[in-house]
Structure 1
Amino acid sequence: MGEQKKKRDLIALSSVPLVMTLGNSMLIPVLPEIERELKISSFQVSLIITVYSIVAILLIPVAGYLSDRFGRKIVMVPCLIIAGLGGAVAGWAAWKVQSPFYLILAGRVLQGIGSAGAAPVVIPLIGDMFENNKEVSSGLGLIETANTGGKVLSPIIGAALALFIWFLPFWFIPFFSFISVLLVFFLVKIPKTEKKSQSIKEFVICLRDILKEEGRWLYSIFAIGCLIMFVLFGVLFFLSDILEKIYKIDGVYKGLLLAIPLLALSISSFIAGKKIGDHKKVMKIAIVAGMGLLAISFVALRIQHNLLFLLTFLIFSGIGIGTSLPCLDALITEGVEKEERGTITSFYSSMRFIGVAAGPPAYAFIMNQSEHLVYYVSMGASVIAMFIGLLFIKPTDENEESKETKGKILKMT
């Protein structure tokens, strides 16, 4: 595969997590306006985000299994189309229907179904496309950069679109889903691999055996991924709230400030993906160090948290998270055989979605108790993630492996 072809493939695949992230996160700054326009309660408007996440959490493992059995692209492209249709349903309902709330929810369910089979399939697909682990790590770093880039742009784009028409962010989803479909369909060439012919019963038995044999490090990566997303989205919710309530900053200006720590996360993800190569012990060190930096940031914020101090140390927390994510992706992708890669990485993606869904409501409850408690909980979750990585992830670099260790699950002890 030529260098230019690899770059085109990665750029095309990077559009998938970017579109999926934009399609969800950019609605967050618009939710208060949606609530006013539809004359619904805060709980009802929160369902616009929640139903999307719940559907995705439930269906991501199914999409992983289907991608292992039938192929990554054959699952990803139709799911991108479904996600676009979901956005169109929600946008049309908001535009043309007098009481559109339940149709908007139906559109969000469709979008969740599409997202479940699109973005999470990208991680195992990167592993399929590149035999060289350094290229896999670099590619995953770019994917995490695109994912985080979507989070950086989301609040800015959502707030800017809503300045024209409140439901315009819904129509953004089918527009960019269509672009992503074209990029993936025409540019990404999937290497030919033998498709699995397992029955569901055989699949369940195989999955049980994998988790029984290698569950220790797999569960550790699942847990760290969940904790990272829990802290990230919880803190973003907290930051959004205090910028408006304490510092009286809202609209596009608030979106720009929310983007600052996410930009640090995005840049550090890209650099980490380039630098870690195939050195799995370095990946472990980066995960532990990243979670340590995250914990230290919240210790500092507990001591002092004026606006400048807050944004400065949230930049450090973004660096910690950005350093860790490509390493988690690389360990789980390079550590699993191609035949089970989609299924195992889909469970990892589901755990990350659980963190995304749980963070904002949990932090909303914590904030009602005490602002200081936000820093304690964030620090505690970071420390737990750091010790999980330190104690339970025990990688073996490829040049230290013996032939006997290469089975269904590779490169980990």
Structure 2
Amino acid sequence: MESKKKLDLISLASIPLVMTLGNSMLIPVLPSIEKKLHISSFQVSMIITVYSIVAIILIPIAGYLSDRLGRKKVIIPSLIIAGIGGLVTGWASWKMNDPYYIILAGRLLQGIGSAGAAPVVLPLVGDMFDDEKDVSSGLGLIETSNTFGKVMSPIVGAILATFIWHLPFWFIPIFCLISIGLVFFLVKTPKKEEQAPPAFKKFLRSFKKTFKNNAKWLIAIFAIGGIIMFVLFGVLFYLSTTLEEEYSINGIKKGFVLAIPLLALSISSYIAGKKIGQSKSLMKWLTFGGIMLLAFSILSVTFTDGLFFLLAILFVSGIGIGSALPCLDALITEGIEKEERGTITSLYSSMRFVGVALGPPIYAIIMKSDHSIVFYTSAGVSLFAALLAFFAIKPEKEKGEKGEKGKKEEGPAKPLNPALH
């Protein structure tokens, strides 16, 4: 990998880091916000959910625009919008007596910004490299930055909230400003991006053809990504509430405890991104194995009530999730031609945001009955995701198949698509 492009990658890695901090940083603060604003646990979960819902809707549009206009032309304005959203939430929390709905409006703006920033990074990394090994390594770095943000976010959020409960909101525009500077000055977009885009109808025909020819494995990866995020954010929401209500662990201490499973996720994500290279078979089996590890480790929590056992199991679960995520990123990025890559990967990002949006409110509801249901639900949907990976992603089964149907759509990713139908 060229040293100049490493600098580009580091700058791009700041985007998912910033977006993750802007969302996950609030997880340990949610119980405090609930008490300060005198709202229900479901209402406070909507602070995460509204951010994700608007992102779900707008990510495909951002992906299309990034294919047509250029990646940076979408990323930088989106970061600006996300920063403005942070200012709105911070101002409302500081100045208003009843700021809940204005906070939601600010979070909506952040969701708009997030839709055009983080998801566009994946296709841009794919554009930057011709060698699939470099693409996989670059995507591993991006996913590691994402997961590192998840590790740091509960710690940073908890530390900031010890001073003023709404201080995490104010740091979102600061993080956005730093990322804007890095992307604007250091990221050099590929020359191919400057070519005149095809007409919308021609693009739409090409997109439909690509999706039709790859529907089986694309839909499977979309679903797997959504399920993983659903379990991750649902369990984090559950853990944040449980630590405070049952174990009286709050503040900075709670931030560090929440970071334990996320640290495992970050480390395994980095290692997986380095090891998978161009091996589609390895990507498939790491995805399957990681999600099976997630399913069975979470199911084992139902056999004990001990906090240390719970944290150890969640650490193992983090390893499973971290093993799968870079593989999913690589499979979907390397398997699509550059002309449709932004749109296809944006749909994948939308499904991940669906999981983020559904996790906290659904877990808030099922927590009210029996806590074991939380883990049965998590294990059940994880097992379903593992089965999808096993049956829908089969690189070893049809390796080497060729034909007129797949040649045009597969472009530079010929080794991947026919193997994944």
Asked if these proteins are the same fold (TM beyond 0.5), I'd say: yes
Alignment of 1:83-102 (within 5 A): 83-102=82-101
2:279 — aligned with what? 279
Q: Bigger CA drift: 102-111 or 257-266?
A: 102-111
Distance 1:76 1:152, change over 3 A: same
1:29 is the counterpart of 2:34: no
Which residue matches 2:164? 165
Counterparts of 1:215 and 1:42, CA distance in 2? 38
Asked whether the 8 Å contact 1:261–1:311 carries over to 2, the reply is yes
**Quick check: 277-286 or 235-244, which moved more?**
235-244
Q: Which amino acid aligns with 2:20?
A: T
How far, CA to CA, are the matches of 2:89 and 2:298 in structure 1? 38
Contact 2:162 2:252 (C-alpha < 8 Å) held by counterparts: no
Q: Specify the alignment match of 1:191 in structure 2.
A: 190
Cα offset for 1:145?
0.9
Is 1:213 the counterpart of 2:218? The answer is no
- Equivalent position amino acid for 1:154 in 2: S
Corresponding position: 1:407 with 2:412: no
Match of 1:326 in 2: 326
Contact 1:69–1:198 (CA under 8 A) maintained in structure 2? no
Equivalent in the alignment of 1:386: 386
Q: 1:372 to 1:82 in 2, by over 3 A?
A: same
Cα 1:188–1:210 change in 2 (3 A) is same
Q: What secondary structure, in the 3-state scheme, does the structure 2 residue paired with 1:225 have?
A: helix
Distance 2:36 2:245 in 1: 21
- Which sits farther off after the overlay, 396-405 or 356-365? 396-405
**CA RMSD, 1 decimal:** 2.0
Alignment of 1:13-412 (within 5 A): 13-193=12-192, 194-199=195-200, 201-395=201-395, 400=400, 402=402, 405-409=406-410, 410=413, 411-412=416-417
Distance 2:45 2:328 in 1: 30
Deviation at 1:225, TM superposition (A): 0.5
Please tell me the residue identity of whatever aligns with 2:252.
V
Verify the 8 A CA contact 1:129 1:190 in the aligned structure 2. yes
Q: Per-residue CA shift, 1:47-66, capped at 9, x if unaligned? A: 32222111111000000000
What is the distance in 1 between the residues matched to 2:135 and 2:198? Answer: 26
Taking the aligned partners of 1:248 and 1:319, their CA distance within structure 2 comes to 27
Q: CA deviation at 1:216?
A: 0.3
Distance 1:102 1:370, change over 3 A: closer
Any conservation in 2 of the 1:297–1:317 contact (CA below 8 Å)?
A: yes
Pick which of 334-343 and 28-37 moved more: 28-37
CA distance in 2, matches of 1:155, 1:235: 14
Distance 2:178 2:46 in 1: 27
* 8 Å CA contact retained: 2:17, 2:149: yes
Asked if structure 1 preserves the Cα contact closer than 8 Å seen for 2:209 and 2:409, the reply is no
Code of the residue aligned with 1:56 in structure 2: it is A
Q: How far apart are the structure 1 equivalents of 2:20 and 2:173?
A: 13
Are the aligned partners of 2:16 and 2:145 in contact in 1 as well (CA < 8 Å)? yes
1:308-367 per-residue CA deviation (whole Å, 9 max, x = no partner) reads 211111111111110000000000000000000000000000000000111122222222
> Which whole-Å CA distance do the structure 1 matches of 2:245 and 2:97 have between them?
32
More off after superposition, 29-38 vs 382-391: 29-38
Give the distance between the partners of 1:373 and 1:40, measured in 2 at CA.
24
SS at match of 2:199: coil
Deviations 1:205-228 (A, max 9, x none): 333322222100000000110111
Change beyond 3 A, Cα 1:34–1:306: closer
Q: CA deviation at 1:101?
A: 3.1
Matched residues in 2 for 1:291 and 1:28: separation? 23
Q: Contact conserved, 1:281 with 1:397, CA < 8 A, in 2? A: no
Moved more, 356-365 or 213-222: 356-365
Looking at structure 2, the residues matched to 5 and 401 of structure 1 have their Cα atoms a distance apart, in angstroms, of 37
Letter of the 2:166 counterpart: F
Q: How many residues align?
A: 411
After superposition, the Cα gap between the structure-2 partners of 1:45 and 1:236, relative to the gap in structure 1 and judged at 3 Å, is closer
What is the distance in 2 between the residues matched to 1:392 and 1:33? Answer: 43
> 1:241 deviation in Å?
2.2
Q: What's the CA shift string for 1:256-303, capped at 9, x where partnerless?
A: 111001000000000000000011011001111111111221232222
- The answer to whether the 8 A contact 1:71-1:195 is kept is no
Where in structure 1 are there 5+ consecutive unaligned residues? Answer: none
AA in 2 matched with 1:299: L
Counterparts in 2 of 1:147 and 1:53: CA distance versus 1, 3 Å: same
Q: Alpha carbons of 1:67 and 1:378: their partners in 2 closer, same or farther (altered >3 Å)?
A: same
1:42 Cα shift? 4.2
Distance (Å, rounded) in 1 between the aligned partners of 2:314 and 2:185: 39
1:146 to 1:224, Cα distance in 2 relative to 1, 3 A: same
Q: Which amino acid aligns with 1:385?
A: A
What is the CA–CA distance in structure 2 between the aligned matches of 1:348 and 1:257, rounded to whole Å? 30
Residue 204 (structure 1) shift = 3.6
Secondary structure of residue in 2 paired with 1:196: coil
Q: 1:328 to 1:240 in 2, by over 3 A?
A: same
